[in-house]
Structure 1
Amino acid sequence: MRMILVAISLSVLAGCTEPQAPDAPATLPGEDACGASRFQNLVGQPKSVLDGVTLPEGNRVIGPNQPVTMDFRPTRLNVEIGKDGRIARVGCY
């Protein structure tokens, strides 16, 4: 009988251990992983200037109120166009 009580006690105690902390998230690349700093001069320019600019592969030009996916890709260059038809933001996300 005593062995049964010990086994039950050990089982209960095993369930009371604190969960281990999850691994720390992977370090994200620098804030300029997509090269956005090279294109900051476009901010405030009309959208039409993009016709003469070679953007990195995998870029995304986002129009006003345009739905986009919410996946975070720090190496993707995003160019946001404001309601006034001008480039409002260039960033890596």
Structure 2
Amino acid sequence: MTARTAGIILVLAAVPALSACATTASDAAPGPTSQVNHCQAAPGQAFIGQTASTQTGAAMLRATNAAEIRWVPPRTMVTMEFKYGRLTVGYDDAMTIASVACS
């Protein structure tokens, strides 16, 4: 077997393994047009200035119709990806809610 033949066999052997990592239309995440963002940030603005707590978070989820909440502590970096139905709540060192957004 020549080096070239061995190289071709190696490449062909790797193709099935690499194709398992590929994303197809059937397993890809739905695009923005197929998702509905039920989160409404406007009612959440009433919580700014309140103390961040489990109870406040539950009330915010109900008020904003969000599916989940992401608490953002002070001086914390967060990813900027948009996630439908997620409420992002920032608070300060005194645990006072400073920002509310659907993201």
Shorter-chain TM-score range: 0.5 to 0.7
Q: How much identity, in percent, do the aligned residues show?
A: 32
Q: What is residue 65 of structure 1 aligned with on the other side? A: 75
For the aligned residues, what is the CA RMSD? 2.9
5+ unaligned residues in a row in structure 2: which ranges?
1-36
1:1-93 mapped onto 2 (5 Å cutoff): 34-48=39-53, 49-50=55-56, 52-53=58-59, 55=61, 56-73=66-83, 75-93=85-103
- Distance apart, 1:53 and its partner CA: 1.6
Relative distance call for 1:33 and 1:54 in structure 2 (3 A) is closer
Equivalent residues of 1:33, 1:92 under 8 A apart: no
Q: Which has the higher contact order (CA 8 A, sep 6+)?
A: 1
Higher helix content, 1 or 2: 2
TM-score normalised according to structure 2 size:
0.48
Larger-gyration structure (1/2): 1
The number of residues matched between the two structures is 65
TM-score normalised according to structure 1 size:
0.52
Runs of 4+ aligned residues of structure 1 deviating over 4 Å after TM superposition are: none
